[in-house]
Amino acid sequence: MARAGTAFRVLNPATGEVLAQYAEATAAEVEDAVDSARRAFAGWGPATAERRAAVLRTAAGLLLERKDKLARLATEEMGKLLAEAASEVELCAEIFAYYAEHGPGFLADQTLDYAGAVLQRRPLGPILGIMPWNYPYYQIARFAAPNLMLGNTLLIKPAPACPRSAQALEELLLDAGLPAGAYRTVLAGVEQTAVLVSDPRIQGVSLTGSERAGVAVGALAGAGLKKHVLELGGSDAFIVLDSEDLDSVVGLAAAARMENAGQACTSPKRFIVGAPLYEDFVAGLAARLTAYVPGDPLDPATRLAPMSSAAAARTLLAQVEGAVGDGATLHCGGFSTAAGEAHVAPALLTGVRPGTRAYREELFGPVAVVYRAEDEDDAVRLANDSPYGLGATVFTADAGRAGRIAERLEVGMVSVNRLAPSSAALPFGGVKNSGVGRELGPLGMDEFVNRKLLVR
């Protein structure tokens, strides 16, 4: 059978060098992967929780052993700083270890308030994971670890830019003792992915990606009456109403916005600052951002990585240019540097007006937008005036005010006087256009599960 087109290409965004190319999976290869996952489920699904936990525990150890190699793969594929890539692998190890430790307890039968009734948690079968490029290990780990612990078998469709990291994780899990077929990387194109989502043997679908992809996958999954989890975009608010140390808060704001070159759904993108602090905050943040100079992500001295591709950089810079055209003020950055087209100097915008594209869209890269809030109510109004509802951060010395604001924010996650933590123990997810469902924590094992009632 003829091979499909070459759609999976590893292009180092820091150098523009093509490192590897892979053809799309054929229909026969996709069929084999689904059939293998179904056959593997016959053995992996009924396996004891202790056996599954042992595999996850071994995988956690292997992630730490192979951290340096895995980190370099991620840096070469999507450009992130090598230190950030290493931290990502460490977080993945934490996730696998967390479910190895707590998974058996999460799976324990739950006694109900009815004589002889218990609620059991059982796996569903093969589940498809459609993964993004910005965190090529972490996004897979937070889907894979809880579902493997549950007893589901998995098919992973990686982003076209990140096939090698996905394949490296598959190899690691097989080395950890996972049965053949229980986890398969499938280099499926758009059409083949749609076939997988619609296949009746696939019992659920998890997507991390754009709104557009979420709408398409959600529609296909709904048509097949199958469970789906969608982790989509975010335009998180970072609210500062008062502070005893504004310079420290500004430093946290800059660091959070520049993490992963600004390419994180949960990074704060809209900074909503009380009027008395607004001018100082804008000046301080602009000064901080200019210190983030894009460079070689393999160099430990580099503070800002390139974006994932030249195309992504062009899209972002067009958004900045459009915002300025609509009346916004550009305080710094907003251009590609001499280091290369994917290297973007961090930008700071103010005066972005309601009704404009920049006001509604997610700016997925090193761009910060600052808004002035006249009071607490105005800050909440601005924060909620977004199609997204993933997370938010609130800085205030007034505990009562923090509680009131957190209660009123239309998001799935709120952190107070600190940056949002990344932990295997904390559920992750949002509301509105930010998606459907939750990952990680105990809720991560309660999505693709058969909650079976047993009455004796």
Which entry of 94, 162, 265, 362 is annotated as an active-site residue? 265
Measure the CA–CA gap between 326 and 255, rounded to whole angstroms.
28
Residue showing tokens 């809880």: 146
Structural contact between residues 194 and 207, judged by C-beta atoms closer than 8 angstroms: no
Q: Which of 285, 282, 229 is CA-nearest to residue 437?
A: 229
- Cβ count within 10 A of residue 113: 5
162 is catalytic: no
Closest by CA to 232, choosing from 367, 440, 433, 444, is 433
CA-wise closest residue to 273 among 379, 422, 426, 423: 379
Active site residue 265: yes
Q: Are strands 153-157 and 126-130 parallel, antiparallel or unpaired?
A: parallel
Listed residue (172, 371, 173) closest to 273, CA to CA: 371
Q: Are 348 and 331 in contact (CB under 8 A)?
A: yes
Cα→Cα distances 434→87, 230, 236, Å: 25, 8, 10
Catalytic one of 76, 77, 94, 231:
231
C-alpha 339, offset from chain centre = 27
Catalytic residue positions, numbered: 231, 265
